[in-house]
Amino acid sequence: MKKAVVLHSGGLDSTTLLYKAVAEKYEVFALSFNYGQKHSKEIKLAKLSAKKAGVVEHKVVNLNLDLWGGSALTDDLINIPDYDEKNPEIPITYVPARNMIFLSIAASYAETLGAQDIFIGVSQVDYSGYVDCRQEFIESMEKTINTGTVCAVEKNMPMKIHAPFMFLTKEEEISIGTKLNVDYSLTWSCYKGEEKPCGVCDSCILRQQAFQNAGFKDPLLILNSNS
């Protein structure tokens, strides 16, 4: 079996990805981050879903990006905005260089494991305009990893970044995930870490629309409405 590092935020995309990598017979090493985000609800669920998906190992890296904030997700002085369809700007929930940091650290973990495959659940279809979710960035990042690691440069063991959802909608992801028996009640998308999803932030709206379009009910909402 080939080893793979899967970036696993605990959200809908990365949890679907985790199940997909396991189904594709990779030996999966899941990687999550406590990066100074305002709540750790997604990390708690990430631990449960990683176990349920059947990963070999799950590591949680601590990294205090809240040292400088600059995003509504890491900066106490910036409130999480409500979704605004008409706003063409990249939302303030953008965390500077987040995927670059996560992929660099994933490369470090992968090199140590002897893994050549890294999975990330980004999509440039259904996203919030974050530039580090685009194919162009992923391709550049892969080149950089293969220029800056001993395994690639000296040992002829280059790495591959897999982003299989890049050109899929969230709705299509959910259809894939449902076939893979992903337990979406163990995923968290809301930018706020309250008991129930707020239902008005970007992330909640994108999730709601996706479940609706896919023709499934979000089990997280069913659970919550019963609680």
Using CB under 8 A as the criterion, which residues of the chain lie in contact with its own copies when the complex forms? 59, 61-65, 67-70, 90, 94-101, 103-105, 107-109, 111-113, 130-132, 134, 136-137, 140-141, 143-145, 147-150, 153-154
**For its own copies, the closer CB: 90 or 223:** 90
**For its own copies, the closer CB: 101 or 198:** 101
- Minimum CB separation of residue 123 from its own copies in Å reads 15
**For its own copies, the closer CB: 130 or 216:** 130
The two structure tokens encoding residue 193? 């870490």
**For its own copies, the closer CB: 50 or 65:** 65
DSSP bridge partners of 5: 29, 118
- Minimum CB separation of residue 45 from its own copies in Å reads 20
- Minimum CB separation of residue 2 from its own copies in Å reads 18
What is the radius of gyration, based on Cα positions, of the chain? 17
- Minimum CB separation of residue 9 from its own copies in Å reads 17
Residue 126: CA atoms inside 13 Å, Cβ hemisphere, count?
A: 22
Quote the CA–CA distance of 88 and 72 in Å, as a whole number: 17
3-state secondary structure of 27: strand
DSSP bridge partners of 117: 4, 160
- Minimum CB separation of residue 151 from its own copies in Å reads 8
- If you write DSSP's letter for every residue of 74-114 in order, what string do you get? T-TTSPPPPP-TT--SPPTT--TTHHHHHHHHHHHHHHHHT
List Cβ<8 Å contacts ≥24 apart for 193-196. 193/38, 193/39, 193/40, 193/41, 193/42, 195/224, 196/224
- Minimum CB separation of residue 132 from its own copies in Å reads 4
Judge contact between 81 and 72, C-beta under 8 A.
yes
**For its own copies, the closer CB: 2 or 143:** 143
Name the residue type at position 102: F
**For its own copies, the closer CB: 156 or 227:** 156
3-state secondary structure of 10: coil
